[in-house]
Amino acid sequence: MQILLYDTTLRDGTQREGLSLSVEDKLKIARELDLLGVHYIEGGWPGSNPKDAEFFQRIRRVTLRHAKIAAFGSTRHANATCDTDANIQALVEADTPVVTLVGKSSTLHVEKVLETTLQENLAMIGDSVAYFKERGKEVVYDAEHFFDGYKLDAAYALTTLTTAARAGADCLVLCDTNGGSLPDDVAAVVQIVRQHLAQEGFDVSKPDSGLTLGIHTHNDGALAVANAIAAVRAGCTHVQGTINGYGERCGNMDLIPLIANLQLKLGYRCISPEQLRRLTEVSHFVAAVANLNPDTHAPFVGHSAFAHKGGIHVAAVAKIPDSYQHIDPELVGNRMRIVVSELSGRGNVRMRAQELGLELNGNEREVLRRIKELENRGFQFEAAEGSFEMLVRRAAPDYEPPFELLDFTVVVSKHGDRDMISQAMVKLRVGNEVMHTAAEGVGPVNALDKAIRKALLPHYPELADVQLVDYKVRIVDEHLGTAAKPRVLIESACGEERWSTVGCSENIIEASFMALWDSLELPLARRRAMAKSTTESLQG
């Protein structure tokens, strides 16, 4: 069975606290959603702000392969007409093929929030739906607070649906607006709705009936995906949600795990297998455009979704990947990862080294011993794969370090009202040459970095392309207060290539020095290994 996906990221998603999208951002995301195979893209509420109105003007010039653009708005106001209602006319001006109208299903909201009568609310629904059907639009009717409204007055909630259906609505969407429903209750109500509509002459189970049933859930009870799946299994064929679950309060239903579960576990058709393999890419793309960090532990698409850390687990997946994985990660564009830590066994070290293209040559035990020793001192290699790689490379008996840091001194001083001054002096050896360099920086780490580079660049000019792009400090023993041991994580980049390194010490400067050392030695070690491999290949 085909499930129609209706994405509300560009409206509901932007209601998340701290998330804001420009018109350009919304256009980028719309194009990506179209490539994913989403059937409907809700662009926003044109009557609410100029940004959304501009989006609808500009999206007309974009050629979409799969998706229809929908404009969102409410039914007409009480005691008004559609021709004079500003919100209705903004939807007309948006000129989209699909119009989504939200109306009240709860007597509480009709009488206490809208402050109108139950009969007038039904007229508002019927008039608004009919108005857009007369103009040739596909109309999606969102029954707001439907499940809560059903509990208050089931007969009235069902009547609002019948009113929209008789006015010509193409889809009726049951909304769990407050996000507090449970899966069993959702399934039961969906079945009751289907029976009610059938009695009224609308059989939503038939594809050619002209009316479909949809579900819109929120995640306030951490059940949005579960509720949506329950609704689909009970007969809904239209599902609304956002990418990564972005939305107000605790978020909207996350389309990413919904698509994966429906398609891979339950056999429904949502998108093509090729599009399914782009789930991870799309999730990360939308997060980047929204200027939010991707959830590393997100199901299916997170960096850690298929990461294995425990030694027993790794030993098993080395033989049979499915032994500790519920799906093949490549089906959703992700990959299996082996995490190295003090919980690791030799299998972790061996498999992670193989992923990096490194030969251990029987050094697994020594590398593992060193990892456990360092992690006991506060290091952490899970997020510092660059430092793990250096451990493996240094364990090789023929490894020759490209440079050797002999000692360093960092001085931070302040005199009167003047700015702080940071100076670093470094003693370093490359081959047989020993160099002393000094540099000033905006801080002690910057000064140290400058002094090391000052010595290395004449010998290794390629390091000029290596940039420090992130610097994080984490306290290991919080209970020790200012005497706690800091752990420093440095992320470096060279073009598109990135790597992270770690250092840990009672002294934050020494911890930074350790991470900085690895971050500069790693690209040189990789280049040297590549040159050696090329030479051996030519000689062979």
C-alpha to C-alpha distance for 153 and 105, rounded to whole angstroms: 9
Q: What secondary structure letter does DSSP report for 463? A: G
Greatest alpha-carbon span in the chain:
92
Spacing of C-alpha 102 from chain mean position:
28
End-to-end CA distance of the chain: 57
Q: Tens-digit pLDDT profile for the chain (540 aa)? A: 999 999 999 999 999 999 999 999 999 999 999 999 999 999 999 977 889 999 999 999 999 999 999 999 999 999 999 999 999 999 999 999 999 999 999 999 999 999 999 999 999 999 999 999 999 999 999 999 999 999 999 999 999 999 999 999 999 999 999 999 999 999 999 999 999 999 999 988 876 678 999 999 999 999 999 999 999 999 999 999 999 999 999 999 999 999 999 999 999 999 999 999 999 999 988 988 888 888 989 999 998 898 887 777 777 877 888 888 999 999 999 988 776 655 556 666 777 777 767 777 777 777 878 878 887 778 877 668 888 888 888 888 888 899 998 989 999 887 777 778 899 999 999 999 999 999 999 888 899 999 999 999 999 999 999 988 888 888 776 555 555 688 888 989 988 788 889 999 888 889 999 999 999 999 999 888 888 777 766 766
Element (H, E) at 492: strand 486-494
Q: What secondary structure letter does DSSP report for 242? A: B
Among all chains, which residue has been given the structure tokens 């298929």? 306
C-alpha to C-alpha distance for 228 and 244, rounded to whole angstroms: 15
C-alpha to C-alpha distance for 394 and 381, rounded to whole angstroms: 16
Residue 373: the pLDDT is 83
Q: How many of the other CB atoms lie within 10 Å of CB of 399? A: 13
Residue 399: the pLDDT is 86
Structure-derived torsion over alpha carbons of residues 233, 237, 239, 243, reported in degrees to the nearest 10: 90
Helix, strand or coil, per DSSP, at residue 237: coil
Task: Spell out the residues 6+ positions from residue 471 whose beta carbon is closer than 8 angstroms to its own.
Answer: 445, 488, 489, 490, 491, 512
C-alpha to C-alpha distance for 138 and 225, rounded to whole angstroms: 26
Tell me, what amino acid is at 355?
E
C-alpha to C-alpha distance for 373 and 344, rounded to whole angstroms: 12
Q: Which of 245, 239, 165, 251 is nearest to 209 (CA)?
A: 165
Q: Which of 198, 196, 200 is nearest to 188 (CA)?
A: 196
For 481, left (φ over 0), alpha (ψ -120 to 50), or beta? left
C-alpha to C-alpha distance for 43 and 31, rounded to whole angstroms: 12
Residue 284: the pLDDT is 87
Q: How many angstroms separate the Cα of 340 from the Cα of each of 133, 330, 381, 390, 411?
A: 60, 22, 6, 13, 36
DSSP state string for 68-128: EEEEEEEPPPTT--TTT-HHHHHHHHH--SEEEEEEE--HHIIIIIS---HHHHHHHHHHH
Q: Which of 164, 156, 148 is nearest to 218 (CA)?
A: 148
Spacing of C-alpha 404 from chain mean position:
40
Residue 364: the pLDDT is 77
C-alpha to C-alpha distance for 140 and 468, rounded to whole angstroms: 50
Helix residue ranges, H only, 200-266: 224-233, 255-260
Residue 382: the pLDDT is 67
Q: What six digits make up the tokens of 84?
A: 């004079």
Among all chains, which residue has been given the structure tokens 């926003």? 44
Helix, strand or coil, per DSSP, at residue 433: strand
Contact at 8 Å (CB) between 424 and 408?
Answer: yes
The structural domains of the chain, ordered by start, are: 4-289 (3.20.20.70), 307-376 (no CATH), 404-539 (3.30.160.270)
Q: Which of 156, 86, 90 is nearest to 121 (CA)?
A: 156
Helix residue ranges, H only, 320-473: 346-355, 364-376, 385-395, 444-456
